[in-house]
Amino acid sequence: MVTRAAIQAEVWPAGTFVDFEQSLNFCVRQIRASLGDNANAPRYLETLPRRGYRWVGGAVEQVTAPTTVREWPRPVPVEPRAPGPVDRLPDRAEDAVAAISPAAATSPAARPRPWWPLAAAFLIVAVALAAREWFAPRRSPTSEPPAFQRITFRRGSVGAARFGPAGQVVYTGSWDGGRRGLHVAGSDPGDSRALEVFDASVAAVSVSGEVAFLRDGVLARAPLSGGPPKEVLKGVVAADWAADGSEFAVVRSGDEGYRVEFPVGRVLAPVARVSRVRLSPDGRHLAIAEHPIMDDDRGLVTILDRDGKRVAATEEWASLDGIAWAPGGREIWFTASPVGADNAVRALSLDGRVRTVLSGMGRLVLHDVAPDGRALLERATLRSEMLFRRADEPEDRDLSWLDFSAPEGIAPDGGTLLFYESGQGGGADYSTFLRRTDGSLPVRVGSGRALALSPDGRWVLSVSLRKPDSMDLTPTGPGENRKLQVPGVAAHEAAGFVGGDGRIFVTGRDAAGKRATWIMDIAGAAPRRLPLPEGHILVQNTFSPDGARFVTSCPEKDLSCLYDTTTGNPVPVRGARKGWWPVGWDARGRLYFRDRSKRLPETLWRVDPQTGRATSVAELAPRDRAGVLAVMGVLVAADAEAWTYNVMRRLSELHVVAGVR
């Protein structure tokens, strides 16, 4: 028998960043697959639960091999030279056995040896070979594994982080459900202090010791030594400082979308929604993290030159969060995943090549890379939780299913939820489900991202991630799927049923990225544009029960207005206040709003548009608020006082990592 501890010591020595249990199980599955073996009826490899593994394949055959070999797996450091046939991990099992046991390489007439030590050696080498294939990039046998120094220890989440000019770490964090604040940590993790800056996100740190941060779309700067901040620019969603601290590169949003500016005021290019922008050390290139789909972290990394020309770009990733330039500025490192949210560190070079820098189990988020190659890495657990409550119930019920549950529809009686899973559990194409609010097991409707549930519960609208140029209308009972499409729309992004008479609204973007909202009949009538002010779209179903009116922001965007579905003609909603977002109506003609003036808890309000009377209905926040970033979507039932919402919870640790290449 070879114990699990012995395998860990040989294959993943101390300091290696990996979830050992899952990694070993994966590698053993790979070995069995290669051998055509079965864990339940093993012919070669037997599992001894919680102890280890045993070779049961019979005697090990003696093979010939070179008589001069190096000891494995603890190589003696030597002067660099061209690798010989035994200076690498063997690619065949018989080579592995010969490399470990030179005695086995004698002639067939040699005295037989006990077979079990060779079998044990074979097992360890086989795990190592499987691990080598799984973990990229391949490192030379003499390279040291990355070294991790943990910076944060409390229960909560890290928002953004940067290295400071003196080697300190500047980051925003929220601990134990408290307010998000700015912190500065020295080389000693215990040497940490808080700055009087709250509800902000670190954007950059200058060589002169100033921190730039974003708060409510405003870019500001403040000295790390303490002092009042100075506001710099409005309408900013991402920013970075030039290496000498003289200029900012920013991404700004407006009625015409997002645009990259460097320096401020000089537009380089229009882009999709951007979460990060980073300037290369020499200032010749910018890298951005673009997210084409609304309210989704799917995205791609793009490198621009100073004229706005696209130099290189990746394909679209299922999850993308965090970018930073590698030392020398020839690669932009980023953290992304092809499926789910378990990100690895990857690199995009200026010539368009993509490689894996560091893999690990779980979600990694890259925040910064120092000139000496040290990386700021966050290791996070990210979940989207779905909560439901009726007015007569004392607290919320957690109706989450897998790892990223997001509600998109609620039945008028509050008895059924439509939601989709966009994480690891939902798969590469996402999955759409229906679930009774009594906690019954969900029913899978199909793949894709859910959009809406019809008022009678008979139909589900969803959109495919791979072919978003049309929508799927799927029956919840027996029946055939139908395709719906707005001509000229390249990606259908939001939709909902209007008035219960077979109409739907659709928001989508064309091939140029311009968005608009239409009304269409599912029977096939030609769509027509919804009368909205320039730059406005509808992303949530806020149509009145009869479909004659809808609610969205007023032309000035400070308040909510009622619009006529046919003519437009906005009228401010009586009783609604600044910072309130409309979420829907009930059957009695009352409007519901979420108050987003503070992060947590949000308040759900009910407003009578006839009288202007506003009534507080509920606080929207889970009991355990540690790591909760924000309330995401909110839906109300039309015929019952019931509602559902989802929150994003992120529990994370921040590490300084040395030795990443």
Least confident of 37-46, 373-382, 539-548: 37-46
Work out the percent of the chain whose per-residue pLDDT is above 70: 84
Q: Is the pTM of this model over 0.75?
A: no
CB count, 10 Å around CB of 579? Answer: 13
Task: Quote the strand ranges of 391-458, DSSP E.
Answer: 397-398, 405-410, 416-421, 431-436, 443-447, 449-453
Give residue-wise pLDDT tens across range 620-638: 999 999 999 899 999 999 9
Phi, psi of 122 (to 5 degrees): -60, -40
Give residue-wise pLDDT tens across range 517-542: 999 999 878 899 999 988 899 999 99
340 vs 233 pLDDT, higher one: 233
Cβ-count burial of 431 within 10 angstroms (0-12 exposed, 13-18 middle, 19+ buried)?
A: buried
pLDDT of residue 286: 96
Q: Which two tokens stand for residue 302?
A: 């793009």
DSSP β-ladder status, 528-529 and 549-553: unpaired
What confidence category does residue 43 fall into, taking pLDDT thresholds of 50, 70 and 90? confident
Give the integer Cα–Cα distance in Å for 457 and 435: 12
Give the integer Cα–Cα distance in Å for 107 and 91: 23
Contact 262, 309 (CB under 8 A): no
Choose among 44, 41, 43, 40: nearest CA to 55: 44
Q: Give me the mean pLDDT over the 459-486 stretch.
A: 95
Question: Which residue reads 């979507």 in tokens?
Answer: 633
Choose among 545, 434, 538, 548: nearest CA to 495: 538
Give me the residues paired with residue 337 across strands: 319
Q: Is residue 76 classed as helix, strand or coil in its secondary structure?
A: coil
Q: Which two tokens stand for residue 514?
A: 């311009």
Contact 543, 568 (CB under 8 A): no
Residue 41, pLDDT > 70, answer no
Give residue-wise pLDDT tens across range 69-112: 433 344 344 344 344 433 344 444 444 444 434 443 343 444 44
Peptide bond into 73 cis (omega under 30): yes
**To which CATH superfamily is domain 383-651 assigned?**
TolB, C-terminal domain (2.120.10.30)
Contact 264, 311 (CB under 8 A): no
Question: Torsion-angle region of residue 401: left (phi > 0), alpha (psi -120 to 50) or beta?
Answer: alpha
Reported as type and span, the H/E element at residue 582 is strand 580-585
What confidence category does residue 118 fall into, taking pLDDT thresholds of 50, 70 and 90? low
Q: Compute CA 409 distance to the chain's CA centroid, rounded to the nearest angstrom.
A: 23
pLDDT of residue 422: 93
Q: Where are the alpha helices (DSSP H) in 557-598?
A: none
What one-character DSSP code corresponds to residue 626? T
Q: Which two tokens stand for residue 79?
A: 């002067």
Average pLDDT, the chain: 86
Arch. (CATH architecture) of 235-373: 7 Propeller (2.130)
